[in-house]
């Protein structure tokens, strides 16, 4: 199984947490935002941790592009940041070739920026699971072939496992994302990519406590699994998501019960490259 930290490179507080959770906990992988404000610091830390599997966290919303804003004018606002309206952008992609071309150019630039780090590309996913959009997924896979893409996250979360861990919890409905996840799974596997059978982190995004993480580790379905979190050493760093309990997620990754559970039984920890 893979235990991943997303948003690597977003802020020094995130990078510090990734290093701590890998060195003192059960974190095995991190997804790098190559255009993040602290991307250079993240790369330096990853180079010091050669066993940490690092992938590309493609950002097309709620961030800054790698390309100059004038190269992707339909994707950015007046300040040069990506637009926030994911649903509107997704709809416009279907009917406007210029937007699809700009997205492809930005995805290529992010792959190239990752290659320039010298890190091995373990996996790829997209910020806020935007790769569930078929046009985005198609570009990520087609362009990724030239950069050594071998593993892709398919965010498919079995609800029965969540209910087993917390019988009275109200997990987020998956009927909206599930059809797109099934389509993405078929596309990825036809393309020969490694994908997990189950992914956890959607319903409890930003709220993966030690009890929840340990519960998941004890109730995992058979097969290949990824659990992703958003650890940081502060909850209120620049660029944080409101309501996310970053410090609790870091604490979960270093909790004695989670460590003991992850390192016992028949679990094999690693990255996508280990599938």
Angle made by CA atoms 31, 32, 33, in degrees to the nearest 5: 125
Share of the chain above pLDDT 70, in %: 98
More confident residue, 172 or 51: 51
Q: Residue 175 above 70 pLDDT?
A: no
Question: Regarding beta strands 225-229 and 198-200, do their DSSP bridges make them parallel or antiparallel, or are they unpaired?
Answer: parallel
Lowest model confidence (mean pLDDT) among 34-48, 66-80, 133-147, 171-185: 171-185
Per-residue model confidence (pLDDT) at position 84: 73
Q: Residue 90 above 80 pLDDT?
A: no
Tell me the pTM: 0.94
What is the pLDDT confidence band of residue 145, given thresholds at 50, 70 and 90?
very high
Tokens of 237: 């760093």
Q: pLDDT averaged over the chain?
A: 94
Could you write out the DSSP letters of every residue in 5-20? EEEETS-HHHHHHHHH
Question: Regarding beta strands 53-58 and 198-200, do their DSSP bridges make them parallel or antiparallel, or are they unpaired?
Answer: unpaired
Helices (H) and strands (E) in the chain, counts: 10, 6
Nearest in space to 220 (alpha carbons), one of 269, 153, 150: 269
Q: Per 3-state DSSP, what percentage of the chain is helix, strand, and coil (rounded to 5)?
A: 45, 10, 45
| Rounded average pLDDT over 221-238 | 96
Q: Helix or strand or coil: residue 146?
A: helix
Share of the chain above pLDDT 90, in %: 83
Which domains occur in the chain, in start order? 2-274 (3.20.20.370)
| Rounded average pLDDT over 235-260 | 97
- How far, in Å, CA of 19 to CA of 262, rounded? 18
- How far, in Å, CA of 30 to CA of 40, rounded? 14
Angle made by CA atoms 224, 228, 229, in degrees to the nearest 5: 160
What is the pLDDT confidence band of residue 91, given thresholds at 50, 70 and 90?
confident
- How far, in Å, CA of 218 to CA of 48, rounded? 31
| Rounded average pLDDT over 199-204 | 95
Nearest in space to 10 (alpha carbons), one of 79, 80, 63, 50: 63
Give the containing element (helix H, strand E) for 86. helix 86-95
More confident residue, 50 or 172: 50
């Amino acid at each position: 199984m893979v235990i991943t930290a997303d948003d690597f490179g977003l802020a020094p507080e995130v990078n510090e947490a990734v290093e701590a959770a890998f060195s003192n906990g059960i974190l095995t992988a991190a997804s790098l935002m190559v255009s993040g404000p602290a991307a250079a610091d993240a790369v330096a830390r990853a180079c010091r941790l050669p066993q940490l599997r690092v992938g590309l966290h493609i950002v097309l919303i709620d961030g800054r592009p790698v390309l100059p804003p004038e190269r992707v004018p339909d994707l950015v606002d007046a300040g040069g940041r990506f637009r926030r309206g994911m649903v509107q952008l997704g709809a416009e992609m279907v009917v406007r070739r210029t937007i699809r071309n700009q997205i492809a150019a930005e995805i290529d630039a992010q792959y190239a920026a990752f290659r320039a780090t010298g890190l091995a590309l373990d996996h790829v996913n997209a910020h806020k699971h935007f790769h569930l959009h078929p046009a985005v997924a198609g570009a990520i896979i087609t362009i990724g072939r030239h950069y050594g893409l071998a593993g892709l996250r398919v965010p498919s979360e079995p609800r029965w496992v969540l209910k087993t861990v917390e019988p009275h919890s109200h997990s987020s409905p998956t009927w909206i994302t599930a059809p797109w996840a099934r389509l993405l799974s078929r596309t990825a596997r036809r393309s020969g990519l490694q994908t997990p059978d189950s992914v956890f982190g959607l319903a409890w995004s930003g709220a993966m406590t030690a009890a929840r993480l340990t519960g998941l580790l004890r109730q995992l379905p058979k097969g290949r699994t990824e659990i992703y979190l958003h650890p940081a050493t502060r909850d209120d760093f620049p660029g944080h998501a409101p309501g996310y309990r970053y410090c609790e997620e870091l604490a979960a990754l270093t909790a004695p019960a989670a460590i003991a559970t992850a390192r016992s039984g028949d679990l094999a920890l690693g990255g996508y490259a280990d599938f």
